[in-house]
A and B are shown apart, each in its own frame.
Chain A
Amino acid sequence: MPMFLREFLSWMLRYRRTWKSTIVISVANPLLFLVAIGAGLGRLVDPSSLGGLTYLEFFAPGLIAAAAMQNAYIEGAFAVHGSLRRGQGYAVAAATPLEPRDIMAGHLLFMAFRIGTSALAFAVVMMALGATRSPWAVLTVPAALLTGMAFAAPLAAWTVTVDKFDTLNKVFRFVLMPMYLFSGTFFGIETLPDWLRPLAYVLPLWHGVDLCRTLSLGTATLLTSAIHVGYLGALTAAGVAAALVTYRRHIHV
């Protein structure tokens, strides 16, 4: 068994004890949003303004991507910080045959598990509510997973270098939240002013949102999907590459 699987297994062992509390924040919360805004508030939106879509159909696939980003922050930033600075779970693993890169890979795999299962639960509800228009919608699960990992990997790489927990809170509030709003989750970026729109194209979340949305609506094209996947995949790879360095430096101090 590769060493990093040992780290993954230890996270799973812990998860057996903690899954109940994580369900609320990673699954129930987004679903509540989906119902309240998508099906409730969204009724006020005239489908003609969305090219014939209901607001729920528009919003749900955007939210699955945004929820993946949020879960990536919980796992890739908050949990990583706790493992290095507070609970020091990383130090425990580092005293065993595991190398920092195993700890990193095992934890990333667990993050993928968390982000993926949350996306799956969301997708099931989304389909049950009739918020999808195409069988391609099943691919929103891997798409959301990729979106989440495009955040989780770079975040983990950065978080091990961060001393103060407060820094993570600030970044959440002042970077993640604006991204949430301006990446086309709640409204299409076509409605943004011209000068702001190019900015949205750079935001990783926009790529995730657009990928999930076009899949869910059945309007995805090979080229744009490839661009989205390539961009998110590149971010994930860059995050892993950076994490290889930062994990070693900050675990083997």
Chain B
Amino acid sequence: MAGDDGATPLIQAEGLGKTYPPRDRRGTGFRAVAGIDFHVNRGEAFGFLGPNGAGKSSTMRMLGCVSPATEGTLRILGMDPARDGRKIRARLGVVPQDDVLDPDLTVRENLTMYGLYFGLPRRVIKERTERLLEFAQLEEKAGEPLGALSGGMRRRLTIARSLINEPDILLLDEPTTGLDPQARHVLWDRLFRLKQQGVTLLLTTHYMDEAEQLCDRLVVMDKGLIADEGSPQELIRRHSTREVLELRFRIDEHEQAAEKLHDLVRPGEGERVEVLPDRVLVYTHDGETTLAAVTAARMTPITALVRRSTLEDVFLRLSGRTLTD
């Protein structure tokens, strides 16, 4: 079967787009995904990084074969979602943006029910359920109603549930949004393990650290389009300098200081200044030297911080906005 020979990508999208129908007769449709190209290889962890409304979930739903594409072509495991939705979904694991778990059922029953949907024999469901409860560290909660779970536990249960059919591809829509740092790390660890087992991961996020940690390759999405594609390091190298000097000034000095800073950087070498409402970012190859120059020019920032460039900076460069505004 195409897509399984290792040469052709597992997932291939060309000019993929989604326009939602208007909500009422007077309304107009909304083009949430405006023609995107990407491919995902077997065993990769592939990310969609973008702010709210970028079209990440819309893309994920098309990949999950629950939302028909309105333009372009999509091939998953060599099949066409419009024709072979059933067959494709049988080999996908889906973690939607919101945890949709059944509140009337216990933790274990939520897994059982999902196994039934995939037509697995009872014996297999039973055996996998126990294994997944362990994987999600929920053994002690197995018999409890859903209300007894914290947000992080619910998320782990949703991920465990998505694995009941031992999927080839796992679609994770914002897997760690709303979780505390510790819960996020536990989840990242679980996802790493899956990747090692050969599961292809696709995830959306608006956390740059998550994208950097988990993704081999990612696309930066904004307003339904892909702004660029590459590994986290490639993207940072392409769109940013090695280091960033973050400066905060008193409000009345902010504008003026920003002006002056422009004289300190060498645009020819990719250095530049980015003025945000609350701070100024100086993209530079050597943060400490630039900071020394700032002090020498008798500027007095309230705070100064040298850090490495991240995907946040890439996004800022590509879209002119920060990821979280």
A interface residue numbers (CB < 8 A to B): 1, 3, 6-7, 9-10, 13-14, 17-18, 87-89, 91-99, 251-253
Contact = CB atoms under 8 A, between A and B. Distances in A.
Contacts of B165: 96
Contact of B100 (A13, A14, A89, A99): A89
For the complex of A and B, list the 6 residue pairs with the smallest distance between their C-beta atoms, beginning with the closest. A96-B117, A95-B94, A88-B100, A97-B86, A97-B90, A17-B104
A87 B103 CA distance: 8
Contacts of B86: 3, 97-99
A18 to B, nearest CB: 5
Nearest to B86: A97
B109 A13 contact: yes
A158 B100 CA distance: 23
Contacts of B116: 6, 9-10, 13
B102 A14 contact: yes
Contact of A96 (B89, B98, B100): B89
The secondary structure that dominates the A interface is helix
Contacts of A253: 20, 61, 66-67
B85 interface: yes
14 contacts: A1-B119, A3-B86, A3-B119, A6-B116, A6-B119, A9-B116, A10-B113, A91-B66, A91-B96, A92-B102, A92-B114, A97-B117, A99-B86, A253-B61
A251 B90 contact: no
Contacts of A89: 100, 102
Contact of A92 (B68, B89, B100, B103): B100
B67 A252 contact: yes
A13 B105 contact: yes
B66 A252 contact: yes
A173 to B, nearest CB: 24
Interface string B36-69: 0000000000000000000000000100101110
Nearest to A93: B117
Interface of B: 20, 61, 64, 66-68, 85-87, 89-90, 92, 94, 96, 98, 100, 102-105, 109, 112-114, 116-119, 165
Nearest to A94: B66
Given A6-B119, A14-B102, A96 B67 contact: no
A99 B81 CA distance: 12
Nearest to A88: B100
Given A13-B113, A253-B67, A96 B118 contact: yes
B104 A14 contact: yes
Nearest to A8: B116
A13 B102 CA distance: 11
A88 B85 CA distance: 20
Nearest to A96: B117
A78 B93 CA distance: 29
Given A92-B117, A253-B67, 6 more contacts: A3-B86, A6-B116, A7-B117, A13-B113, A17-B109, A253-B66
B117 A17 contact: no
B70 to A, nearest CB: 11
A95 B66 contact: yes
Nearest to A18: B104
Nearest to B101: A92
Contacts of A13: 105, 109, 112-113, 116
A95 B68 contact: no
A87 B100 CA distance: 7
Given A94-B66, A95-B94, A87 B117 contact: no
B76 to A, nearest CB: 14
Nearest to B92: A95
A99 B85 contact: yes
B89 A252 contact: no
A13 B111 CA distance: 12
A155 to B, nearest CB: 22
B170 to A, nearest CB: 12
Nearest to B61: A253
Contacts of B104: 14, 17-18
Contacts of A87: 100, 102-103
Nearest to B87: A97
B67 A17 contact: no
A17 B67 CA distance: 32
A223 to B, nearest CB: 45
A91 B119 CA distance: 17
Contacts of B100: 87-89, 91-92
A40 to B, nearest CB: 36
A91 B57 CA distance: 14
A10 B102 CA distance: 11
Nearest to A98: B117
Nearest to A21: B104
Nearest to A248: B68
Nearest to B20: A253
Given A95-B89, A98-B117, A99-B85, A252 B109 contact: no
A17 B105 contact: yes
Contacts of A251: 66
Given A251-B66, A252-B68, A253-B67, A96 B102 contact: no
A252 B112 CA distance: 24
